[in-house]
Amino acid sequence: MTRKLRSNFPRGSYLWAVRNAQWQALGIPEDDCEKPKIAIVNSSSSLAACFAHLDGVAAVVKEAIRAAGAVPFEIRTAAPSDFVIGAGGRGGYILSTRDLVTNDIEVAVEGAQLDGMICLTSCDKTVPGQMMAAGRLNVPTLMLACGYQPSGEYEGEHVDIEDVFVGAMHAQMGHMPMDRLIGMSRNAIRGPGVCSGMGTANSMHICCEALGMALPGTTPVAANSEAMFDAARRAGQRIVEMVWEDLKPRDILKPAAFANAVKTILSVGGSVNSIKHLQAVATEAGCGADVYGMFERFSHEVPVLAAVRPVGHHVIETFEAAGGARALMKQLEPLLDTGALTVTGRTLGENLAGARVDDPEVIRPIDDPIARKPAIMMLRGSLAPEYGIVKTGIVERKTRRFSGPAICFATSDAAIAALQSGDIRPGHVVVMRGAGVCGGPGMGGGSSKVVFAIDGAGLGDQVALITDGHLSGLVCKGLVVAEVSPEGAVCGPLALVQDGDTIVIDLDTQRCDLEVDEAETARRRAAWTPAPKLCDTGWLQLYRRNVGPLTQGAVLVEPR
């Protein structure tokens, strides 16, 4: 199978000559320079366990690509780990680096006119960043999940990174001994890979398969397992075939594929961060999919079929052993568009043929779900004219309507100090604003810390929280309305709330409202002045000035 490759230039031309000189110096024979040239997108880093093993994965993929008759070129991108790079810029580097990854890839792959790419997916922002690049560049691309980390045990109990995150805030509130927190932190992670719960990373890995951008049966997977390395070898072979077939991301990333991904995430109670990331991929792919609208529309149609921590009690290893994403989609098949094309060159329905569920108690059938009510809900109202997002989980809530006086904060530190001093009391609606994509910038601001601090203070069922910030994919506690849009920094309604105003959150009507009359709201809007700009230098300044709204995925490009 042959076709003209965009990476090849006429023999003897300037570009041919200088590239040939560079590659000869790297030990690439001249004949190989005519073969398909495949980028291996690697975010390897020794800063975090998420990325520590990726060089070993890249080596296996390189070997497979060479065996399939192509030339691999490893390229590097930024490596955002929430728990490490969240220390600077008020946490603004966490989300914003997603778009930096996209642009890193564009520079290398588009600049060099490479023919295709395999993306080594790891921590949660690299996954959408890589798929956004795939949608933008539209060269044959295959996503390879590089696995979750093994969690540990402490004092005879399971412990993982979620427990450490929650525990840290409980300790700060004085409700956990410091020695126990230290012991948990030393035992929570026993090897490389992403967070072991159904947080954003594993949710996005599953999205890759549900979208048709990963080989079937490859998510989730334990890092450095034989299953992961087998997938790496198969991916190396398949990407070369995809280049010759000219099978491109925009052939796959159609609205039907996004609908499949949305339904799959709803069925596993996945991370709410999947919403903005999938929307960003759709925006970059120019396919017109309204992911926010899909989550709103499908949330009451799709039952919860699997419940992995933190939504349920199962661990990710149990979910993988039960069949993982492929088995989940097999159970969900009646609700999916099985005609959607995938990286195999076959449809989703063809990929699911023969799929089996090894444990129907872990991955339930549609007619016997874990929960019929949605684990993720989209709210609207006077406080959230576009959207606010609630991770409802699978536990039936005693209170589905919460009404109380607002108590407002501009930083997580101020909110936590108010908890410690007793200023936040039962019945309050805590308002955290200025933490959106512009105000954060990059949705920094520590909303998740406040959620866990409220839980640590013993107020989880007695107060509500509403914020324009985002939540860690590991958050599933209390009544929290997150990612309220438009955000406060652009004079969204959240900016106009004052202490003592009554806020009503109603899950049954899916509304979130400020009970202040229109005349008073107009007066406040006319008097509003923006807060001083934060992070007014470097990358975060560029991000803040150019980022689009959440409903377009908070991308740095104009929507098509």
**pLDDT value for 558:** 66
pLDDT at 560: 45
In a domain, 515, yes or no: yes
Contact indicator for 456, 175 with CB cutoff of 8 Å: yes
Q: Which two tokens stand for residue 232?
A: 């790496």
Cβ atoms 262, 293 nearer than 8 A: no
For the beta sheet containing 116-121, the strands, ordered from the edge strand earlier in sequence to the opposite edge, are 71-76, 37-42, 116-121, 141-145
Q: Residue 444 falls within a domain, yes or no?
A: yes
DSSP 38-63: EEEEE---SSSGGGTTHHHHHHHHHH
Q: Are residues 412 and 316 in the same domain?
A: no
List the pLDDT tens digit at each of the 560 positions of the chain: 678 999 999 999 999 999 999 999 999 999 898 999 999 999 999 999 999 999 999 999 999 999 999 999 999 999 999 889 988 988 899 999 999 999 999 999 999 999 999 999 999 899 999 999 999 999 999 999 999 999 999 999 999 998 998 899 999 998 899 999 999 999 999 999 999 999 999 999 999 999 999 999 999 999 999 999 999 999 999 999 999 999 999 999 999 999 999 999 999 999 999 999 999 999 999 999 999 999 999 999 999 999 999 888 899 999 999 999 999 999 999 999 999 999 999 999 999 999 999 999 999 999 999 999 899 999 999 999 999 999 987 776 667 899 999 999 999 999 999 999 999 999 999 999 999 999 888 887 688 889 889 988 899 889 999 999 988 766 667 899 999 999 999 999 999 999 999 999 999 999 999 999 999 999 999 999 998 887 778 999 999 999 999 999 999 966 54
Bridge partners, residue 273, by sequence: none
Q: How much is the pLDDT for 210?
A: 98
Give me the residue label for tokens 């309220």: 484
Same domain, 403 and 493: yes
Q: For residues 434 and 329, state if they share a domain.
A: no
Q: In terms of domains, do 339 and 406 share one?
A: no
For residue 222, the SS3 value is strand
Alpha-carbon torsion 79, 149, 147, 451, what sign?
Answer: negative
Q: Are residues 74 and 200 in the same domain?
A: yes
Question: Which CATH number belongs to the domain containing residue 422 in this structure?
Answer: 3.50.30.80
Q: Is 532 exposed, middle or buried (0-12, 13-18, 19+ CB in 10 A)?
A: exposed
Output the DSSP codes for 241-301: HHHHHT--HHHH-SHHHHHHHHHHHHHHT--THHHHHHHHHHHHHT----HHHHHHHHTTT
What local confidence, expressed as pLDDT, does residue 233 receive? 98
**Is 268 domain-assigned?**
yes
The reply to whether 206 and 57 lie within a common domain is yes
**pLDDT for 393:** 78
Q: Quick one: 450 and 522 in the same domain? A: yes
Q: The CATH number of the domain where 295 resides is what? A: 3.40.50.2300
Q: Which residue has the tokens 């959607």?
A: 340
Pick the catalytic residue from 196, 267, 472, 485: 472
276 in any annotated domain? yes
User: What span, in angstroms and rounded, lies between the C-alpha atoms of 343 and 215?
Assistant: 7
- Give a yes or no: residue 136 inside a domain: yes
Token representation of residue 103: 């642009």
The number of domains in the chain is 2
503 torsion bin: left (phi>0), alpha (psi -120 to 50), beta (else): beta
Q: Are residues 485 and 419 in the same domain?
A: yes
Task: Give the whole-angstrom CA distance, residue 129 versus residue 100.
Answer: 8
Query: What is the rounded distance in angstroms from the CA atom of residue 36 to the CA atom of residue 245?
Result: 12
Domain that holds residue 44: 31-152+187-352
- Domain stops at, among 320, 352, 384: 352
- Do 319 and 446 fall within a single domain? no
- Pair (223, 266) in one structural domain: yes
- State the Cα–Cα distance between residues 122 and 204, nearest whole angstrom: 9
Task: Check whether residue 206 and residue 342 sit in a common domain.
Answer: yes
Active site residue 472: yes
Tokens of 457: 């203070």
In a domain, 222, yes or no: yes
Residue 22 within a domain? no
- Is 101 within the bounds of a domain? yes
Q: Where are the beta strands (DSSP E) in 127-188?
A: 141-145, 152-154, 157-159
Structure tokens at 189: 């992670």
Same domain for 271 and 412, yes or no, is no
